[in-house]
Structure 1
Amino acid sequence: MKKIVQFGFLLSLIFLSSCQESQNEFKIGQNQVGQIKAQTEVHELESIFSQDSIVKPDLKNRFRAVDNDYYVYQNGELALKIQPRKAQDSTSYISEIQILNSAYKTDKGLNASSTFKDLYENYKINFIQNSLKNVIVDLKDSGIYVVIDKKHLPSSLKYDSSSKISKTQIPDDAPFKYFWFSFTEEK
């Protein structure tokens, strides 16, 4: 009987640790996106995403190699677009990641499918930058920034790239066009 209880306890521990591991697999946190951390080098991506498909830049033909990004496909869908700090360097750290898979989320639930309301209710905005076709919203102390298409803004702001835009001018239901994470370079 004692061995059965011990075996059941051991199975419970294994189950709980696997649940914790799968939660961390998609967690966006301080200098972390899933299993990618600030000190992750490009050559480590293959082992991190061993169950997924990775499309690497074509470095053999320098005239065609315009794009130095790595693309991670999970279950056939593009999940992450990874930009190294240095092109053509397997020991380079990761600079930024565009997150396309909504499974990747912060502790407060922010993900690629969130809206502007989800963002401002849970995070402090560092700044809002107006550009020609988009608005870039940078979150304070998180490494996260999102791009919102100006087509969701009032018509008075859609075609004006010089106006200062405040958070009250962005509709609550404005979806993210792009969801990015930028790693802080550790010294």
Structure 2
Amino acid sequence: MKRIFFAAIITNLLFTSCDSDSSFKVTADRVGELTKETQVNELKTIFSNDSVVDQNSGLSEELNVNAIEIYEKGGKQLLSLMPTKDGNPKTIKTVQVFDERYTTEEGINLNSTYKDITEAYEISRIETLISSIVIFVDDINAYFTIDRDELPGELRFNMDAKVTGAEIPNDAKIKYFMIGW
């Protein structure tokens, strides 16, 4: 009886640890293993099984072109990171998600639609840009970009039109998914 009890506990712990895998989970203060306190010099350790491409050297640093790109072994881009410009040690300021496995607790990822976002979160504000619409969700420090091509005809071509949430089609797809701390 004791063996069965201990076997059940061990099995439960194994399944719990698998379910709590946070390597692709997005929350208000995390993107996978990254947090806003993550230092740039820790990235090679955090992504030891992946490729870290740091463009922060020489001329690129002078020009403020300082993206750090994370690629999975095999070439698929996972993330693009923008470190803070000031401060020492440098930390991560913005994360752009390129891999659909990065998912919020509410199930939102790069394959989601505008409807998915509105059903999962309260929209904080919507900004209308020349070629896209940016939807801000302050609850998770995220913003989602939807291409203007996803909008109805009159809004697609009227660059002066201020787009409201009611005018964005439910099936509009996310083009970019970013977290900003």
TM band (smaller chain): 0.7 to 0.9
User: Deviation at 1:160?
Assistant: 2.3
Mapping of residues 14-163 of structure 1, within 5 Å = 15-16=14-15, 18-22=17-21, 24-59=22-57, 61-62=58-59, 66=63, 67-75=65-73, 76-86=75-85, 91-163=89-161
User: Deviation at 1:27?
Assistant: 0.9
Which structure 2 segments of 5+ residues have no match?
Answer: none
User: Deviation at 1:12?
Assistant: 2.5
User: Deviation at 1:8?
Assistant: 3.6
Q: CA RMSD in A?
A: 2.3
- Which AA in structure 1 matches 2:99? N
Give the Cα–Cα distance (whole angstroms) in 1 for the partners of residues 14 and 141 of structure 2: 32
Which structure 1 segments of 5+ residues have no match?
Answer: none
- Which AA in structure 2 matches 1:168? A
Give the Cα–Cα distance (whole angstroms) in 2 for the partners of residues 101 and 63 of structure 1: 25
Give the Cα–Cα distance (whole angstroms) in 2 for the partners of residues 17 and 45 of structure 1: 27
User: Deviation at 1:26?
Assistant: 1.0
Residue deviations 1:33-62 (CA, integer Å, cap 9, x gap): 111112111111111111111111150x32
SS in 2 for 1:19: helix
TM-score by length of 1: 0.85
The percent of aligned pairs where both chains have the same amino acid is 30
Question: In 2, are the aligned partners of 1:70 and 1:81 still within 8 Å (CA)?
Answer: yes
TM-score by length of 2: 0.87
Give the Cα–Cα distance (whole angstroms) in 2 for the partners of residues 90 and 77 of structure 1: 30
Aligned length: 179
- Which AA in structure 1 matches 2:68? Y
